[in-house]
Structure formats: structure tokens, C-alpha cells
């Protein structure tokens, strides 16, 4: 059973460009979470999605960031008009259901560098 | 979700048991205790979780006090590859909220 798959693993963008990060959850998992980790800082929750629904986006920056989890295909975290401060590791996680007793598994992350 | 308190860092000799404490005095009855670790530049790795009873798996044991106000993660035979930041998380909602964790250094 493959784990949570993220791609690209490393992405370099120039300031003002768009970054798209993809996440394929584990097989049978319909809940996806995105986290951001700035250099030398902790993991910060960004957004929690089910198929076709955003459940909790309390950690998402109000501008330039969006996330989706379509009925078919991977979840996408989109960052428009990137700035240097967006340089970070972005981790995706998945679980079979959103209840507190269900384990959440993380991917290996996507490293975004804005130059 | 209840707040957790962990020591910022700990050392452990290779081959010895590593006992990582966590205080969660405001935990509610339906909140689980989860442990994850993050090895440098990797994604967080699930270790173990529990509600009331002690739990054991192939990686570690989780000891939760009877009043549930604290817990201890035990790595029975620490290796150099166990060097990582360990996060104790009390989960009462859908998401996990990470604190600053304990940086465990295993030395030869």
C-alpha cells in the first residue's frame, strides 16, 4: 500500500510565478490535510479537505493560496504570485476519516524555493 | 485541543531506552494522545496513539497515566536513527496541531 505521494519534491519558482503542489492520498483515504513548515520553524496547519469539500481552512493565508481536492485526481495546493516568504516545505497528509481516532499519515513533502 | 508541554531536548545513549515525557493536564475525555516524530528534512512519521490504555507497537510504547494528565513515549532500544524531533499531540478535532516537540539526540 503506497504511502502519501507528493510531487514535485522540489520546486523552484521566480517571484510572481505560480506554484502547484500535488498530493495523492493513501489508497482508501478521502481526507487530506496540508501543512507548511518554514525554515527552522514548526509545522503549521493550513487546510483540511474531503473530496470536493473544504472542511477547515483556518490556517490558509487569506490571499494567493488555494486548495482543492477534486472527485478524481490528487489534491492541489496552489500558490499564486509567489514571494520569497513562501519558500518552505509543504507537507500533505491523509486519513481514511476525519475522526480523532483515525491515524493521519504524512507524505515526504514538497520543498518550494522562491528566487 | 488541549495544550501539551514537552522538554525542548533530551539525550539518550544508543541501546538504552528513551523515555520522552509529555504533560497534557487539560486533556478532555474524548481527546487522543498522538506521537509523531520528524527526522531532519523528512515528513512527520506516525509513531503511536492512545486514548486511555497503554499501547505498544513495533516502534514504541505509550504509557498514559490513570488521570490522563501526562504520558510517556518509550523507545525501548534507541538507535542513532531515532535522533529526531518528537511531537506529543492531543487531538480532539479533525486536525493535528503541532507544538515545538522534544529534540532527542541519541549518541553512540
Beta bridge partners of A110: A90
Q: How far is CA A40 from CA A22, A43, A87, in A?
A: 23, 10, 12
CB contact under 8 A, A107 and B32: no
Q: How far is it, in rounded angstroms, from Cα B43 to Cα B89?
A: 16
* Total residues found in chain A within this entry: 115
Beta bridge partners of A113: A12
Confidence of residue A102 (pLDDT cuts 50, 70, 90): confident
Residues A75, A81, A83, A86: what is their CA dihedral angle, to the nearest 10 degrees?
Answer: -10
Beta bridge partners of B104: B10, B84
Q: What percent of chain A has pLDDT over 90?
A: 86
Q: How far is B28 from chain A (nearest CA, A)?
A: 12
Cβ atoms within 10 Å of A62's Cβ, excluding its own: 6
* Whether the predicted pLDDT of A1 surpasses 70: no
Task: Kindly report, residue by residue over A28-86, the tens digit of the pLDDT.
Answer: 899 999 999 998 888 999 999 999 999 999 999 999 999 999 999 999 999 999 999 99
Residue A39, Cβ density class (10 Å: 0-12 exposed, 13-18 middle, ≥19 buried): exposed
Q: Considering only alpha carbons, which residue of chain B is nearest residue A5?
A: B43
Peptide bond into B68 cis (omega under 30): no
Confidence of residue A92 (pLDDT cuts 50, 70, 90): very high
3-state secondary structure of A83: coil
Cβ-Cβ contacts under 8 Å, A31 against chain B? 94
Cβ-Cβ contacts under 8 Å, A35 against chain B? 98
Q: Which of A42, A55, A107 shows the shortest C-beta gap to B43?
A: A107
Report pLDDT for A39. 87
* Whether the predicted pLDDT of A94 surpasses 90: yes
Confidence of residue B92 (pLDDT cuts 50, 70, 90): confident
Q: Considering only alpha carbons, which residue of chain A is nearest residue B92?
A: A100
Task: Kindly report, residue by residue over B25-81, the tens digit of the pLDDT.
Answer: 999 888 999 999 999 889 999 999 999 989 999 999 999 999 999 999 999 999 999
A44/B contact by beta carbon, under 8 A: yes
Report pLDDT for A101. 79
Amino acid at each position: 500500500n503506497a504511502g502519501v505521494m507528493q510531487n514535485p519534491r522540489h520546486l523552484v519558482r521566480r517571484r510572481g510565478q505560480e506554484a502547484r503542489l500535488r498530493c495523492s492520498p493513501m489508497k482508501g483515504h478521502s481526507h487530506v490535510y496540508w501543512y507548511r513548515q518554514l525554515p527552522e520553524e514548526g509545522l503549521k496547519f493550513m487546510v483540511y479537505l474531503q473530496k470536493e469539500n473544504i472542511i477547515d481552512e483556518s490556517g490558509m493565508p487569506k490571499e494567493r493560496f488555494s486548495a482543492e481536492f477534486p472527485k478524481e485526481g490528487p489534491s492541489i495546493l496552489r500558490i499564486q504570485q509567489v514571494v520569497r516568504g513562501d519558500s518552505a516545505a509543504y507537507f500533505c497528509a491523509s486519513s481514511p476519516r476525519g475522526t480523532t481516532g483515525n491515524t493521519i499519515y504524512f507524505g515526504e513533502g514538497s520543498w518550494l524555493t522562491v528566487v | 485541543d488541549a495544550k501539551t508541554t514537552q522538554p525542548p531536548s533530551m539525550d539518550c545513549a544508543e541501546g538504552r531506552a528513551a523515555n520522552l515525557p509529555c504533560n497534557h493536564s487539560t486533556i478532555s475525555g474524548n481527546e487522543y494522545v498522538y506521537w509523531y516524530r520528524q527526522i531532519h528534512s523528512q515528513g512527520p512519521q506516525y509513531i503511536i496513539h492512545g486514548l486511555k490504555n497503554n499501547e505498544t507497537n513495533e516502534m514504541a510504547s505509550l504509557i498514559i497515566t490513570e488521570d490522563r494528565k501526562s504520558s510517556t513515549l518509550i523507545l525501548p532500544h534507541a538507535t542513532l536513527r531515532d535522533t529526531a524531533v518528537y511531537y506529543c499531540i492531543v487531538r480532539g478535532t479533525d486536525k493535528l496541531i503541532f507544538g515545538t516537540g522534544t529534540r532527542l539526540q541519541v549518541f553512540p
